[in-house]
């Protein structure tokens, strides 16, 4: 384990106004962090928020998580969805310490209420309020990051507009218990990169580790302040950026003797992930139309536009030969 630090970018400034020098330097910092590490820690309060409101959000969301996981397993298993990976995970032989539930559209009061009504037949107003408030701040951060990324690559503004329209957010709650015996594995989640565009995480105690960019070591994400979020690039964003941004490989190792909770908001495009034409070209050998594009962007495309839920379904159904390279199998340009 190395103690290499994860970049920190302050996006909380009241001066973070589009086009100002603060904005331009945030653009540079975010892009550099995403290209080199696939992640960064964002300091962010949300519009109108401050450090006391973020402490409140932090306490409330983990209180909500505690309440959710204290429900009987049969109740939690009622968290089903027609969308792949938007449902209950638990009782896994591979990761027995781990349990997780997903709230689809967690910034919407209607959708969050319908999740809560399944868990608590009489409803649970405080759970809904905490989930919606936390998700709204996190989604605002997600959109700020995507806007910064689009601008910093100089891609057509339509890509950002499309993201605002098409991003389907899902909020996942996780609980990891402590291994019962010294011999039991302490792996909460094995090494993986998310298949989302962006995932934003908050943890109650340490446990999350990030793969160092240039070697095989892991960097521990230390305890986070209530105003900091870990922003990670998913495989879909890697494809979107034509490989400029690396998706963030991460794992969870239960090193503390205490139950760990985490909450993560991920974005999945409801429809096609369009790869900006500014970020590459299809060479004559891989272009269906036989057209040779301008080569000014210098990088042949590695993926074609793809349906994001189609990719998730491809993995869930077992069609993908290998989880890690699924995106290449699904829409890669050979």
Instruction: Kindly list the residues in this chain that would bind ligand AKG in the complex (CB under 6 A).
Output: 172, 174, 189, 194, 201, 203, 208, 250, 252, 262, 264
Pick what 208 binds: Fe ion, ligand AKG, none; C-beta below 5 to 8 Å, kind-dependent: ligand AKG
| Residue 296 to residue 139: CA distance in whole angstroms | 34
> Which contacts (CB < 8 Å, 24+ apart) does range 254-257 have?
254/97, 254/176, 254/177, 254/178, 254/179, 254/186, 254/187, 254/188, 254/207, 255/186, 255/206, 255/207, 256/178, 256/205, 256/206, 256/207, 257/178
Q: How far is the CB of 131 from ligand AKG (least distance, A)?
A: 16
Tokens, residue 98: 């781990």
- Pick 147 or 260: Cβ nearer Fe ion: 260
Residue 211's binding partner among Fe ion, ligand AKG, none (Cβ under 5 to 8 angstroms by kind) is none
Work out how close the CB of 76 gets to ligand AKG at its nearest, in angstroms, rounded to a whole number. Answer: 16
Residue closer to ligand AKG, measured from CB, 136 or 172? 172
In sequence order, what E strands does the chain have?
Answer: 8-10, 39-43, 98-104, 167-176, 187-192, 198-203, 208-211, 218-220, 228-233, 250-253, 260-269, 272-273, 306-307
- Contacted entry of Fe ion, ligand AKG, none for residue 12, CB cut-off 5 to 8 Å set by kind: none
- Listing DSSP states for 2-39 in one string gives B-PPPPEEE---TT--TTSHHHHHHHHHHHHHHHHTSE
The closest residue (CB) to ligand AKG is 262
Residues forming contacts to Fe ion in the complex (CB under 5 A) are 194
Beta carbon of residue 320, minimum distance to Fe ion (angstroms, whole number): 16
Q: Which is nearer to ligand AKG, 46 or 264 (CB)?
A: 264
Name the minimum Å distance from CB 71 to ligand AKG.
19
Q: Which one of ligand AKG, Fe ion, none interacts with residue 228, CB within 5 to 8 A by kind? A: none
Chosen from Fe ion, ligand AKG, none, partner binding at 265 (C-beta under 5 to 8 Å by type): none
CB of 45 to ligand AKG, least distance (A): 21
Q: Of ligand AKG, Fe ion, none, which one sits near residue 262, judging by CB under 5 to 8 A according to partner kind?
A: ligand AKG
Which residue's CB is nearer to ligand AKG, number 172 or number 246? 172
Q: Which is nearer to Fe ion, 108 or 251 (CB)?
A: 251
Residue closer to ligand AKG, measured from CB, 144 or 203: 203
Measured on CA atoms in the order 178, 183, 184, 189, is the torsion positive or negative?
A: positive
**Shortest CB 196 distance to ligand AKG, Å:** 8
Q: How far, in Å, are 75, 117, 199, 202, 203 from residue 259 at the CA level?
A: 20, 26, 22, 15, 11
Cβ neighbours for 87, distance < 8 A, ≥ 6 positions apart: 79, 80, 81, 102
Q: How far is the CB of 192 from Fe ion (least distance, A)?
A: 6
Whether the Cβ atoms of residue 16 and residue 44 lie closer than 8 Å to each other: no
> Looking at beta carbons only, is 151 or 194 nearer to Fe ion?
194
């Amino acid at each position: 384990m190395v103690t290499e630090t994860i970049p920190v970018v302050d996006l909380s400034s009241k001066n973070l106004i589009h086009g100002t020098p603060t904005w331009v330097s945030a653009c540079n910092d975010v892009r550099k962090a995403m290209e080199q590490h696939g992640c960064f820690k964002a300091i962010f309060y949300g519009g109108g928020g401050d450090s006391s409101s973020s402490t409140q959000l932090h306490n409330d969301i983990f209180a909500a998580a505690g309440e959710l996981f204290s429900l009987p397993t049969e109740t939690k298993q009622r968290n089903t969805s027609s969308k792949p990976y938007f449902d209950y995970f638990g009782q896994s032989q591979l990761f027995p310490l781990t349990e997780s539930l997903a709230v689809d559209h967690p910034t919407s009061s209607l959708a969050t209420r319908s999740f809560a009504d399944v868990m608590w037949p009489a409803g649970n107003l405080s759970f809904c309020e905490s989930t919606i408030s936390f998700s709204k701040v996190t989604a605002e951060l997600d959109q700020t990051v995507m806007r910064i990324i689009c601008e910093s690559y100089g891609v057509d503004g339509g890509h950002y507009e499309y993201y605002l329209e098409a991003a389907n957010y899902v909020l996942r709650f996780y609980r990891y218990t402590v291994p019962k015996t010294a011999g039991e594995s302490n792996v909460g989640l094995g090494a993986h990169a998310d298949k989302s565009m962006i995932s934003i995480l908050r943890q109650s105690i340490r446990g999350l580790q990030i793969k160092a960019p240039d070697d095989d070591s892991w960097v521990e994400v230390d305890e986070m302040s209530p105003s900091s979020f870990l922003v990670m690039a998913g495989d879909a964003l890697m494809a979107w950026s034509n490989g400029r941004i690396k998706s963030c490989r991460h794992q969870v190792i239960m090193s503390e003797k205490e139950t760990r909770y985490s909450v993560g908001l991920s974005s999945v495009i409801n429809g096609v992930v369009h790869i900006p034409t500014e970020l590459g070209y299809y060479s004559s050998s891989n272009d269906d139309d036989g057209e040779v594009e301008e080569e000014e962007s210098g990088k042949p495309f590695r993926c074609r536009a793809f349906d994001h839920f189609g990719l998730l379904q491809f993995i869930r159904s077992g069609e993908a030969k290998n989880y890690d390279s699924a995106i290449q199998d699904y829409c890669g340009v050979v």
